[in-house]
Amino acid sequence: MPVHPDHHFVTTDWLSRHIDDPEVIIVDGSWHMPAAGRSGRADYLAGHIPGAVFFDLDAIADTTSPLPHMLPTADAFAAAVGSLGIHDKQTIVVYDSVGLLSAARVWWSFKIMGAQDVVLLDGGQPAWIAAGLSLEAGEPARAPATFTPLFDSAAVRNFDEVKAALGGPVQIVDARSDGRFYGREPEPRAGLRSGHMPGAINLPFGETIEGGRLKSEADLRALFATRGIDPGKPVIASCGSGVSAAVVALALDVIGARDVAIYDGSWTEWGGRSDSPVVTD
């Protein structure tokens, strides 16, 4: 594997120097909320980092679930990314078209499925463009590869596990806006109650980002401290549908937290069920 200086991120300079390395695969993980009126695949086809393949969050998912982009089985994930030409021993560089959002979910997905070296492009595609580097349109053809999955079940939680964790030592961190968390704003998905889980801590994911990049480790530590979140204790991150929760999980990983899971169904599941406790205080 090519050596990069950071465990989580590579720079545009590093990627431009390794773009033709056969042991480096670039993955465009662009995705947008339905209300945004944008398509991640359309963004990708219009212009992406040369050689990048497209990871479709809504397709590389458990499509039998009524919930959006739930994790697929390990075998289904392996088949899907293998068809893109990705194997588990490559250096996998993930980015998105806005800087840092859905790329964090793709990063987490590869990590939970056993990728040995997966990193994010610092600043994403906007940083690549700002550096004066070119894009290409269309979709490149790559030979299929074999991705051997090694699923980390400890990094994901389901409804029953989250409900059982309420009131216990696990910190539940909700990455939605404070308006949605406190029930002052409606949920963007129809049919969901507003509010939050009892005892949850609100940390809107955007507060971990500055200029399309994750904030510095020092700033992240200070941010988590102000919210009373202890990175030395277990955390379950949640959000609207499991995407922005991965930004919080990434931030915690950067500052050294080692017991962090994501509630995959997140508020789309929790707020849509009648047997889930919801508060607005």
**Active-site residue list:** 239
Q: Are 52 and 142 in contact (CB under 8 A)?
A: no
* Burial status of residue 55 (CB atoms within 10 A of its CB: 0-12, 13-18, 19 or more): buried
Specify the DSSP element, H or E, that contains 165: helix 159-165
Specify the DSSP element, H or E, that contains 270: helix 266-270
| Helices assigned H by DSSP within 47-149 | 74-83, 102-112, 124-130
Rounded to 5°, the CA angle 107-71-266 comes to: 90
Q: How far apart are CA 48 and CA 214, in angstroms?
A: 21
Q: Are 62 and 72 in contact (CB under 8 A)?
A: yes
Q: How far apart are CA 25 and CA 256, in angstroms?
A: 26
